[in-house]
């Protein structure tokens, strides 16, 4: 069966996907594990209590884009050991999603991942979801100079690394704030989340990524 993209999407040559809570449901208990490991790390590295460590973690995420970016800015922390430590979690809480796999595989053009996690972590997640082997590129935080989304420099570095043309790209993300810069660059944006967050930089919203991707294709 031949799939073609319906007119609204015929300009798209590169399909960019966030990883966390975009390619698996936000109900999957992955982030709580990572957050707990971050709190452990901050507690021992800075010698603060767990309550203070959790407050700092949340504050850095809000003001710097990621906990790591705040740790680097405020304490000069080296990124790699931190990233390895906090991503050493149990991936068996994720289940394979063959329907999502088929919907992504059917998209014509390049498919790439752009995550604020690392590329090795992304591979662990993709394997656990049965979504590995589909991707032309996996761009991790290490490829953005450890500058996270939503910072403009993160998008500019990763878009340049990928070689994509923003006006010929679509991006799928659960974090509405991470779609503002792509929209400014000309990317078509899709907010993937249980609840809509209407804003001028959100072009589409879906609570069901698989159904949305199927709707992009007309089969015949």
Stretch 68-127 residues interacting with Mg ion (CB under 5 A): none
Rule CB under 5 A: choose which of 9, 14, 15, 20 binds Mg ion.
20
Which stretch, 78-86, 105-113, 133-141, 173-181, contacts Mg ion (CB under 5 A)? Answer: 173-181
Total residues in contact with Mg ion, by rule CB under 5 A: 4
Calculate ∠ Cα 146-150-153, nearest 5°. 55
* Contact flags string 191-220 toward Mg ion, x per CB under 5 A: ------------------------------
Minimum Å gap between C-beta 137 and Mg ion is 17
Cα Rg of the chain (Å, integer): 18
Which stretch, 20-28, 36-44, 117-125, 187-195, contacts Mg ion (CB under 5 A)? Answer: 20-28
21 touching Mg ion, by CB under 5 A? yes
CA distance 59 to 163: 33
Minimum Å gap between C-beta 115 and Mg ion is 7
Q: Please identify, using beta-carbon distances, which residue of 103 and 193 lies nearer to Mg ion.
A: 193
**HEC sequence for the chain:** CCEEECHHHCCCCEEEECCCCCCCCCCCCCHHHHHHHHHHHHHHHHCCCHHHHHHHHHHHHHHHCCHHHHHHHHHCCCHHHHHHHHCCCCHHHCCCCHHHHHHHHCCCCEEEEECCCCHHHHHHHHHHCCCCCCCCEEECHHHHCCCCCCCHHHHHHHHHHHCCCHHHEEEEECCHHHHHHHHHHCCEEEEECCCCCCCCCCCEEECCHHHHHHHHEEEC
Q: Please identify, using beta-carbon distances, which residue of 45 and 212 lies nearer to Mg ion.
A: 212
Q: Please identify, using beta-carbon distances, which residue of 14 and 175 lies nearer to Mg ion.
A: 175
Q: Please identify, using beta-carbon distances, which residue of 18 and 162 lies nearer to Mg ion.
A: 18
Which stretch, 45-53, 99-107, 154-162, 170-178, contacts Mg ion (CB under 5 A)? Answer: 170-178
174 touching Mg ion, by CB under 5 A? yes
35 touching Mg ion, by CB under 5 A? no
User: Interface with Mg ion by CB under 5 A: which residues?
Assistant: 18, 20-21, 174
């Amino acid at each position: 069966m031949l799939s073609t993209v319906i007119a609204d999407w015929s300009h798209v040559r590169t399909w960019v996907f966030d990883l966390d809570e975009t390619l698996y449901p936000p109900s999957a208990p992955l982030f709580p594990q990572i957050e707990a490991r971050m709190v452990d790390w901050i507690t021992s590295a800075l010698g603060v209590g767990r309550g203070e460590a959790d407050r700092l973690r949340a504050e850095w995420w809000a003001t710097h884009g990621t906990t790591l970016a705040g740790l680097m800015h405020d304490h000069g922390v080296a990124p790699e050991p931190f990233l390895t430590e906090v991503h050493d979690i149990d991936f068996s809480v994720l289940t394979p999603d063959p329907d999502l796999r088929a919907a992504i595989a059917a998209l014509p053009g390049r498919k790439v991942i752009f995550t604020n996690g690392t590329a090795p972590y992304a591979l662990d997640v993709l394997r656990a979801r049965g979504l590995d082997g589909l991707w032309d590129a996996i761009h991790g935080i290490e490829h953005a100079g450890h500058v996270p989304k939503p910072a403009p420099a993160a998008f500019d570095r990763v878009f340049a690394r990928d070689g994509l043309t923003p006006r010929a790209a679509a991006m799928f993300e659960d974090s509405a704030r991470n779609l503002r810069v792509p929209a400014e660059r000309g990317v078509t944006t899709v907010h993937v989340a249980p609840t809509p967050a209407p804003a001028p930089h959100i072009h589409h919203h879906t609570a069901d990524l698989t159904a949305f991707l199927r709707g992009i294709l007309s089969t015949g």
